[in-house]
Amino acid sequence: MPPVWLMRQAGRYLPEYRATREKAGSFLDLCYNPALAEEVTLQPIRRYGFDAAILFSDILVVPHGLGQKVWFEEGIGPLLDPITTEAGLAQLRPGLQRKRLEPVYETVSRLSHSLPAETALIGFAGAPWTVATYMVGGRSTADQAATRAWAYRDPAGFQKLIDILVEGTIDHLLAQIEAGAEAVQIFDTWAGALPEQEFARWVIEPTRKIVAALRASFPRVPVIGFPRNAGPRYPDYVEATSVDAVGLDTSMPCGWAREALGGKVTLQGNLDPLALVAGGEALRGAASAILDTMAGVPFIFNLGHGIVPQTPPEHITELVTLVREKR
Ligand code: 1CP
């Protein structure tokens, strides 16, 4: 009987999201408007009755809260004033400016009252490595080259950026939990870009520190890790970080994940977002295969990455019905 929610379940595929987004002005204005951010978090819950709501925000509010210039350009995505050397870290303030992010925590607090009692509220942050790729690259990059190059050229300098992000991320997640988040997810979208040694240093170690700090204050709040495209390194990640649950990306064979991790950690995933776009037999076949493979181990049905804007909203109704009929 798996619970179901979907990554990027609030977003541009929903007409009601597009309408609210227009009202808000810029994307960051929406993230920092508690009434409107609450509204877009609730929209997919009203439509589909998912078992969990994920806070509407973005991973890039953390660099913004650290003082970096961040803005969103229509058709491009996030843009940042890049930091590419240790000297560039002087742009940042000494710690997370909670004041700047106060509207985000107010959104969480509102949601903890407005969500139905049976709907879990998930807070989130980007993992330090993934957030660093945007801070250093200045935007979304295909291969995270500038960030990987800095990490090789000057590991001690790059470590300082990661340390700032570890502290800021702990602070940001603690504030969300204090405001009412019942679980948190750490998104490491670009984890798969790193070779083994680098993966241990820049993906596993920072995440381990974050999980340990959260657990010290809130031992019962589950932490979901999402080391996207980490492939055969998933078991090391799970073991070393001690996350409670792990999000499987689309490329991960469910049978392999079940064999390696089933029962040790809750598994979450991993329908291809494009199967959701296609709908029909492709969707039913792919979703059923996942549900059949994961039957009997702790499992949360989700996508292997986020919903894409061209997804027909009615395909999600079909998916949720299918997951629930399997119960
Ligand atoms: O114009 C719009 O409305 C912007 C689209 C959009 C949305 C809906 C962006 C810009 N961010 C979001 C919200 C968002 N982002 C959520 C809200 C909750 C939900 O899931 O419904 C979450 C959890 C995120 C997380 C996020 N932002 C990640 C990690 C997860 C992932 O998808 O890999 C990343 C990498 C970002 C950065 C980001 N924000 C937005 C864009 C276009 C990007 C760049 C993505 C890229 O590099 O391809």
Q: Is the CA virtual torsion 9, 12, 13, 19 positive or negative? A: positive
Q: Please tell me the distance from the alpha carbon of residue 318 to that of residue 280, in angstroms, as a whole number.
A: 9
Residue 159: Cβ-neighbour burial (10 angstroms; 0-12, 13-18, 19+): middle
The pTM score is 0.97
Helix (H) or strand (E) holding 313: helix 313-325
What's the 58 CA to ligand 1 centre distance in angstroms? 6
What's the 125 CA to ligand 1 centre distance in angstroms? 11
pLDDT at 6 over 90: yes
Q: Please tell me if the CB atom of residue 176 comes closer than 6 angstroms to any atom of ligand 1.
A: no
In CATH, the number for domain 15-325 is 3.20.20.210
Nearest CA to ligand 1 atom 14: 58
Dig out the tokens for 93 from the structure. 């303030």
pLDDT over 70 percentage in the chain: 100
Catalytic residue selected from 17, 134, 234, 237: 134
What's the 57 CA to ligand 1 centre distance in angstroms? 8
Q: Is 171 a catalytic residue?
A: no
- Token match 């596993």: residue? 204
What's the 148 CA to ligand 1 centre distance in angstroms? 22
Please give the angle made by the CA atoms of 209, 223 and 193, to the nearest 5 degrees.
65
Q: Please tell me the distance from the alpha carbon of residue 88 to that of residue 103, in angstroms, as a whole number.
A: 28
Residue-level pLDDT at 306: 98
Q: Is 21 a catalytic residue?
A: yes
- The residue that leads in pLDDT, 147 or 142, is 147
Helix (H) or strand (E) holding 48: helix 34-48
Q: Is the CA virtual torsion 27, 31, 33, 38 positive or negative? A: positive
Task: Enumerate the β-bridge partners of residue 139.
Answer: 79
Nearest CA to ligand 1 atom 4: 27
Q: Please tell me if the CB atom of residue 21 comes closer than 6 angstroms to any atom of ligand 1.
A: yes
Do the Cβ atoms of 27 and 21 come closer than 8 Å?
yes
Dig out the tokens for 145 from the structure. 């080259």
Residue-level pLDDT at 90: 96
What's the 54 CA to ligand 1 centre distance in angstroms? 12
Q: Please tell me if the CB atom of residue 161 comes closer than 6 angstroms to any atom of ligand 1.
A: no
Catalytic residue selected from 13, 21, 51, 105: 21
Calculate mean pLDDT across residues 145-171: 98
Residue-level pLDDT at 327: 57
- Token match 């050397």: residue? 85
Residue-level pLDDT at 221: 98
Do the Cβ atoms of 114 and 42 come closer than 8 Å?
yes
Catalytic residue selected from 17, 32, 58, 228: 58
At 23-59, the pLDDT tens digits run: 999 999 999 999 999 999 999 999 999 999 999 999 9
3-state secondary structure of 175: helix
Do the Cβ atoms of 273 and 251 come closer than 8 Å?
no
Q: Please tell me if the CB atom of residue 54 comes closer than 6 angstroms to any atom of ligand 1.
A: yes
Q: How confident is the model at residue 94 (pLDDT cuts 50, 70, 90)?
A: confident
Dig out the tokens for 2 from the structure. 């798996």
Q: Is 188 a catalytic residue?
A: no
Q: What residue spans define the domains of the chain?
A: 15-325
How does strand 70-73 pair with strand 77-80? antiparallel
Q: Please tell me if the CB atom of residue 189 comes closer than 6 angstroms to any atom of ligand 1.
A: yes
